Structure 1
Amino acid sequence: MRYTRRAITILALTVLTATAGCSVEKDGGDSGTDASANCGSGKEFLIGMSQANNAEPYRQVMNDDVTTAAKAVPGFQVVVSDAAQDNSKQVADVENFLSQGINLLIISPNEAKPLTGVVKKAYDQGIPVIVLDRKVEGDAYTAFIGGDNVAIGKAAGEYYAKTLLPQGGKVVEISGLPGSTPAAERAQGFREGIASNPKIEIVATQTAEWLREKGQSVMDAMLKAQPDIDAVYAHNDPMAEGAYLAAKAAGKETAIKFTGIDALPVASGGIKAVEQGRLQATFQYATGGREAIDLAKKILVDCTKDVPKSTTLGTMQITKENAAQAYTELGGKQ
C-alpha cells in the first residue's frame, strides 16, 4: 500500500510536515525487521534520523553520509532531527517521528539509558530501528552499527605505551559525555592499552562533553592543576584540538603531545590536524551513515528478514607518516 506525503524540508532542527508513508509492521511480533507486508521496490519510505547533537563535526559528517547515501536509493526520504545534546528533546524527536508514521528509525542516542525506552517503543510498534554509533540498553532494536570503542581506546593506549611515551609520563584524559557508551568504552580500552607500561600515569580525567570549546576550557584548568603534563588523551579530535589551543595559549603546545579519535576526512578534521602537527595521532571512528542506509535498503526495499544484529566498523591508526594517504583513502577532498 502506498500513501502520498507532503514535501519535507530537511533542516538541522527538523519539524516534520509529512503524512505517514508505508507503515512497516512486525510479522507476528517477533522482530522489527520483517517488512514483508509493505516492503519492496517502487515504494516511498520515510526515514527518521534522530541525531544526538549536530554541534559535533563528527555528527555533521554522519548526517551528510546518511542523507547522501539515501539520495541514491529511489523512494528514500530522510528527515534529520537535532537533539542538541538534550535527552528529553531526543525522546520528543523520536515521538514526533512515530506520530508521523516513519517507516524506519535511525538513531544515534545522546545517552544510553534515557533513550532506551523510546527506542523500545518504536521497535515494539514494528518500526525497524537502526542504532548508530552509541548504544542503548537491552536489545529492543533491529540492528546496531558502530565501531568497537574498547578496541579503539586500547589501540590508543598501546600507542602511548610503546611509541608515544615509552619511558612513561603523566597523561590527562579529556572524556566524552558521561552516560554515552563511547566515553566509557574509550576510557576502559585506554587503560587496558597502557597497562603494559606502568610508568604511564593518568593524573586527571575530566569531561568536555565531546566539544572543542569545552576541551579548551577543561585543558586550561588542567594546566593550572597539573603543570607537568606530558600528553593528552582526548576521546575525540575536537576536544584534542581544544586542548592544544589551551596549551598553545600557555606556551606549552610543543612540550605536550596530543591524540584524538574520529579521523574525519575533512579539512577541519583530525587527519589534517595530525598532518599539520597539532596532534600526534588519531584513530578512525567511521560514522556508519552509509552502512545504515545500506541496511535500511535491505529491510525496506529488498525485504530482507534476517539482518545482522550488530555490525562492527573497522578502524586505523593515523600518524604523520600515513596521514596524507589515509585522508585520500577515506574520501577526503583537498
Structure 2
Amino acid sequence: MKLQQIVAAGILTTMAGVTMAAEPVVGLITKTEINPFFVKMKEGAQQAAKANGAKLLTGAGKSDGDNAGQITAIENMIAAGAKTILITPSDSKAIVPAIKKAREQGVMVIALDSPTEPLAAVDALFATDNFKAGVLIGQYAKAALAGKPAKIAMLDLFPGHPVGITRHNGFLSGFGAAGIDAKTVELVKTAEVVCTADSFGDQAKGQTAMENCLQKNPDINLVYTINEPAAEGAFKALKAAGKEKSVMIVSVDGGCAGVKDVQSGMIAATSQQYPLKMAAMGVDAGIAYAKTGKKVAGYYDTGVTLIANKAMKDINSKDTKFGLDACWGNK
C-alpha cells in the first residue's frame, strides 16, 4: 500500500508501527480565484483549517461558469484523500454527476453560497438566504422612492442560475409584487420592470447592460444589480449619460468596495453576505465528519444584513461603519 493510499485511508504508520490518525483533509472549490468574495471564502477556510489541525486543498474554475475546471478539481481532491469537499457550483446542474460520484466514494459534499439543482445533490448547503437578500433591497428601494412611480432595470446574473433567479424575485417581492416566494423558479417581470439584462456579475458586462437598458428606456429611475461589480458598471453607464444623480442603484454582496460605494452614494443600499463564515462552517463540518463519521444535512443560513447610508422608516438596516467592519475584500 503506497503512502498516498495510506493517507487517503485515514491512517499513518510510524517506523515503530504505531498508528496515528491522519489530519482531516478538506477541499474547497470556488468559482474563480480572483473574485474578492471567493478570496475571502478561501481565507476563512484556511483560518479554520489551521486552527483545527486540518489540511486544506483548494481549487477553482478559470472563470465563472467553468464547470469542467470544477470537475477536475473534485477528481484531484478525491485522489488526494479529501473526505469533505466544499464547492460553490458554477453550473448548478452540470456539476451534479461529478458530485454524485464523489458522494458514492464516501465524500461529504457541501455547497457554499450557491445551491445545486437539485439541492439534494449535496449533503448540505451553507449560504446566504438569497431571497431575503433581494427582499431587503427591494423594501429599501420602495421606501426610498416614497411613492414615485418606478421604472426598473434589472441586471441579473446569467440565464437559469438559481442565485440570480432567487435574488431577482426576492427584490420584486420586497418591492411589493404579490405571489412570489423563495420557491418561484422562473424570473418574474412586473409592470415596473422596463428592462432586464444579464451582467454575469461583471463590471464591464454590467456597464454594457446598463447602456442597452438606457437605450430601451431613458427614463429608468431604479436599478437592481445581482452584485456590486455589476452595480459599478451600471453607475459608469449612468454617469456617462448624465443620469447618475437621478437613478437609484441597489445591490447584493457587502464587499468592502461595495460598502464604500454605498458610503459615497454610488449605491443606495446593499445586502451584505458573509463568505468567511460560510467557509469556516464548512471546514468545521468536514473536520467533525472526519472525526465522528457524522454528516451535516440540509440548509444552514449564514446571515444577511441590509447596509445603507440613509436609513428608511420601518426598514431595518445598518450603516456603512457596520458594513466596513464586517466586509470582505480590500478596504
Classify the TM-score, shorter chain: 0.7 to 0.9
Aligned residues: 300
Alignment map for 1:116-155 (pairs within 5 Å): 116-138=96-118, 139-155=120-136
Q: Over the residues paired in the alignment, what is the CA RMSD in angstroms?
A: 2.6
Q: What's the counterpart of residue 101 of structure 1? A: 81
Contact 2:158/2:198 (<8 A) preserved: yes
Distance 2:253 2:53 in 1: 31
Which of the pair is proportionally richer in helix? 2
Distance 1:205 1:220 in 2: 12
Q: What's the counterpart of residue 68 of structure 1? A: 47
Q: What's the counterpart of residue 186 of structure 2? A: none
* Structure 2 SS opposite 1:111: coil
The runs of at least 4 consecutive aligned structure 1 residues that moved more than 4 Å come to 329-334
Which shows bigger deviation, 51-60 or 269-278?
Answer: 51-60
1:281 aligns with 2:269: yes
Distance 2:324 2:38 in 1: 18
1:21 aligns with 2:10: no
Contact 1:178/1:209 (<8 A) preserved: no
1:297 aligns with 2:297: no
Distance 2:35 2:46 in 1: 17
For residue 247 of structure 1, report the CA deviation from its aligned partner. Answer: 1.1
Match of 2:325 among 295, 310, 328: 328
Q: What's the counterpart of residue 175 of structure 1? A: 156
Alignment map for 1:1-334 (pairs within 5 Å): 21-23=7-9, 43-85=22-64, 86-138=66-118, 139-164=120-145, 166-195=147-176, 201-264=192-255, 266=256, 269-287=257-275, 288-301=278-291, 303=292, 305-321=294-310, 322-330=319-327
Distance 1:300 1:314 in 2: 26
Distance 2:263 2:162 in 1: 29
Distance 1:80 1:102 in 2: 12
Which shows bigger deviation, 160-169 or 284-293?
Answer: 160-169
Distance 2:251 2:297 in 1: 30
In structure 2, what residue type is equivalent to 1:74? Answer: G
In structure 2, what residue type is equivalent to 1:204? Answer: C
Change (3 A) 1:164 1:295: farther
* Structure 2 SS opposite 1:22: helix
* Structure 1 SS opposite 2:95: helix
Contact 2:23/2:54 (<8 A) preserved: yes
In structure 1, what residue type is equivalent to 2:288? Answer: K
Percent of counterpart pairs with the same letter? 28
The runs of 5 or more residues in structure 1 that have no matched partner are 6-18, 25-40
Distance 1:117 1:134 in 2: 17
Change (3 A) 1:89 1:317: same
* Structure 2 SS opposite 1:113: coil
* Structure 1 SS opposite 2:300: strand
Change (3 A) 1:21 1:206: farther
Change (3 A) 1:159 1:62: same
Which shows bigger deviation, 317-326 or 92-101?
Answer: 92-101
Distance 2:242 2:172 in 1: 29
Distance 1:178 1:20 in 2: 44
Change (3 A) 1:237 1:21: farther
In structure 1, what residue type is equivalent to 2:324? Answer: Y
Distance 2:260 2:111 in 1: 29
Distance 2:49 2:149 in 1: 47
| 1:155-192 deviation per Cα after TM superposition (whole angstroms, max 9, x unaligned) | 22222222345322111000013232110111121221
For residue 237 of structure 1, report the CA deviation from its aligned partner. Answer: 0.9
